[in-house]
Chains A and B, each alone.
Chain A
Amino acid sequence: MAQTQRKKKLNKPRLQLKMIGIFLAISGFAAFGQALLLAQSLMGLSVSIEDPSVARTVHDAMPGILTTNLMWTALFLLPFIFLVGVQVTHRIAGPAFRIERYLREVAESGEVSAPCKVREDDELQNLADSINRTFQRLQADQQAKAPQKAHA
């Protein structure tokens, strides 16, 4: 099981899309701020060169440059960041999905079959460990208190 690749990349779409949205907002903000800052400094630079034609050319060209810039950003950067976001959030959403499925099984069957396992590189390992330890203890207590029911 451990070697199979994940197929479903959006296990918990709500959580993942929310975080990816934040990723996109951050990068969009960063890109936009950077572009504006650069445009402004380049305009300042062109004025400082003592040749009015330079200033005029740069000034005229800047809107076009910024538009192309925006286009490239929307075309390449945002999809790229979306993909990165899916991969990163999957490290949380994947194990969360698995833990939830495990808990549902336990809740429905009323018994702890096997410990809940989470992929090695994923987050929430320690939560899965806590769940396993506690459930083992609870089940041991249950069997100690009502051995006849466990066999029934």
Chain B
Amino acid sequence: MTRKKQLRTRKLIDKSLQFRLVGAFVAVGCVATLFQVVLLNQSMLKLSESMASNGDLLLQETPPVLVRSVLITLCVLVPAMTLVGILVTHRIAGPAYRMRMHLKEIEESGEVPRPCRIRKHDELQEMCQLLNQAIDAIRPQGAQEAAQSNQERLAALEAAPSLMPGEKPTVEEPSEAPPRGHAK
């Protein structure tokens, strides 16, 4: 099963979910930035008032400095946060998408392929397990038996030592044999 090692190529899988969360990320970052500007501005105001001379001059020069530093921050921060946001949200959107595809396959073919699996470090692991259990509980009888024998065969293949000594010991290789619809 080479798919396991593949890196994700599509980063934006569920656009609405991901964009909404990324939006929240960026908004939070902007609020934090603004908060700092307000705080520092306040402090400078107090400082310039307390100064004996040239306080006005300092106060006059402060706003452009603030604006410039906010612009710099936004230029750096917004792309960085968007990137982090997409990567983080992908851990949720990815498995959700995988489960949807799994369900779609079942709905279209009427057959239950092998259980749905999601990446190890992704979220929603528990949901995926429950989904498999629920599908097992309600799947048609005939399919259940077929899948069981399928699984037994698969287990036997996985347990068997590699038959070809020249090859790399890729234990899960035989599981590629059944045709799979959703490997796009």
The stretch among B4-12, B28-36, B154-162, B169-177 that forms the contact with chain A is B28-36
Interface check B153, CB cutoff 8 A: no
Interface size on A, residues (CB 8 A): 71
Say yes or no: A41 contacts B69, CB within 8 Å: yes
Interface check A19, CB cutoff 8 A: yes
- A residues in contact with B127, CB < 8 Å: 96, 99-100, 103
- Beta-carbon nearest neighbor of A124 in chain B: B96
Say yes or no: B28 contacts A84, CB within 8 Å: yes
Instruction: Name B34-84 residues within 8 Å CB distance of A.
Output: 35-37, 39-40, 43-44, 47, 50-54, 57-58, 61-62, 65-66, 68-70, 72-73, 76-77, 81, 84
- A residues in contact with B183, CB < 8 Å: none
Interface check B17, CB cutoff 8 A: yes
What are the interface flags for A115-152 relative to B under an 8 Å C-beta threshold, 1 for contact and 0 otherwise? 00000000110110011011101110110111001000
What are the interface flags for B141-155 relative to A under an 8 Å C-beta threshold, 1 for contact and 0 otherwise? 111000000000000
- A residues in contact with B43, CB < 8 Å: 61, 65, 68-69
Q: Indicate the member of B21, B37, B50 with the most A CB atoms within 10 Å.
A: B21
Once the chains are docked, how many angstroms separate the CA of A91 from the CA of B135?
25
Interface size on B, residues (CB 8 A): 69
The residue that A38 contacts in the complex, of B40, B99, B110, with Cβ under 8 A, is B40
- Beta-carbon nearest neighbor of B133 in chain A: A107
Q: Indicate the member of A76, A81, A149 with the most B CB atoms within 10 Å.
A: A81
What are the interface flags for B89-105 relative to A under an 8 Å C-beta threshold, 1 for contact and 0 otherwise? 00010001001100110
CB distance from A100 to the nearest CB of B (A): 5
Identify whether the interface residues of B are mostly helix, strand, loop, or mixed: helix
With contacts A54-B51, A123-B17, A145-B140 taken as known, whether A34 is within 8 angstroms of B104 at the C-beta atoms is no
Instruction: Name A36-81 residues within 8 Å CB distance of B.
Output: 37-39, 41-42, 45-46, 48-49, 51, 53-54, 57-58, 61, 65, 68-69, 72-73, 76-77, 80-81
Say yes or no: B138 contacts A142, CB within 8 Å: yes
With contacts A69-B39, A133-B107 taken as known, whether A138 is within 8 angstroms of B135 at the C-beta atoms is yes
The residue that B92 contacts in the complex, of A30, A81, A92, with Cβ under 8 A, is A92
CB distance from B2 to the nearest CB of A (A): 26
Instruction: Name A8-31 residues within 8 Å CB distance of B.
Output: 15, 19, 22-23, 26-28, 30-31
